[in-house]
């Protein structure tokens, strides 16, 4: 007896489907649960912005003494502080800390001063009525400031880059 080819195909497909279902049933969980995923890694020490060494009382006292010797008023913890008569130079602070027996922190050197950028930055701040506040300006003020700097032919600082230092 000859089986028609369509019936043969249907039987083959049916057997293949049953085999696949049986294989899946054998692979499926048998009342066992999978282990939970591993917990996420802990945040870096010091928060999301990187490692901050623990506060050393000797370092804090030496830094305060050096800032006073150099004529710089340290900002208060609860709000923005006032700057002293001049911006201290980093080598002077490091030398003062070493004289007091404290190792200065390792930090990258400050960006080079650009008088044209500083002048344009201050002119734009005055034109736009932006006050000197600690931290970056709000997004809308930053956009206006960048547009003003571009009008004056100066490239604005890239995100994350500090504005030019003030004296």
* The pair of three-digit structure tokens given for residue 161, joined into one six-digit string: 């880059």
Assigned domain for 128 exists: yes
Q: Taking the alpha carbons of 163, 89, 123, 129 in that order, is the dihedral positive or negative?
A: positive
Which residue has better confidence, 72 or 77? 72
Domain that includes residue 120, residue range: 115-152
**Is the distance from CB of 154 to CB of 116 less than 8 angstroms?**
yes
Assigned domain for 136 exists: yes
Which residue has better confidence, 99 or 129? 99
Assigned domain for 33 exists: no
- Listed in sequence order, the residues at least 6 apart from 118 whose beta carbon sits closer than 8 Å to its beta carbon are 164, 165, 166
Quickly state the pLDDT bin for 138 (edges 50, 70, 90).
confident
* The pair of three-digit structure tokens given for residue 108, joined into one six-digit string: 């990258």
H helix runs in the chain, sequence order:
5-27, 57-69, 90-99, 115-128, 139-151
Assigned domain for 120 exists: yes
Residue 66 confidence (pLDDT): 75
Q: What is the pTM of this model?
A: 0.27
38 pLDDT higher than 70: yes
Assigned domain for 38 exists: no
Assigned domain for 70 exists: no
Cα–chain center distance at 145? 22
Assigned domain for 134 exists: yes
- How many distinct helices (H) and strands (E) make up the chain? 5, 0
**Is the distance from CB of 71 to CB of 86 less than 8 angstroms?**
yes
Q: Which of 151, 112, 144 is nearest to 125 (CA)?
A: 144
Alpha-carbon distance of 1 to 153, in angstroms, equals 93
State how many domains the chain has.
1
Quickly state the pLDDT bin for 81 (edges 50, 70, 90).
very low
Assigned domain for 9 exists: no
* The pair of three-digit structure tokens given for residue 107, joined into one six-digit string: 């930090």
């Amino acid at each position: 007896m000859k089986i028609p080819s369509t019936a043969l195909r249907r039987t083959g497909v049916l057997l293949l489907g049953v085999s696949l279902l049986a294989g899946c049933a054998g692979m499926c969980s048998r009342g066992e649960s999978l282990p939970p995923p591993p917990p996420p890694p802990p945040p870096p020490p010091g928060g999301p912005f990187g490692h901050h060494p623990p506060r050393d009382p000797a370092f804090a006292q030496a830094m305060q003494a050096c800032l006073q010797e150099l004529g710089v008023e340290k900002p208060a913890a609860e709000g923005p502080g006032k700057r002293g008569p001049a911006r201290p130079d980093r080598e002077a602070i490091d030398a003062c800390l070493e004289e007091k027996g404290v190792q200065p922190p390792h930090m990258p050197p400050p960006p080079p001063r650009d008088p044209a950028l500083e002048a344009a930055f201050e002119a734009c701040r005055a034109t736009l009525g932006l006050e000197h506040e600690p931290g970056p300006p709000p997004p809308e003020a930053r956009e206006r400031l960048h547009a003003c700097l571009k009008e004056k032919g100066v490239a604005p600082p890239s995100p994350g880059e500090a504005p030019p230092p003030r004296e």
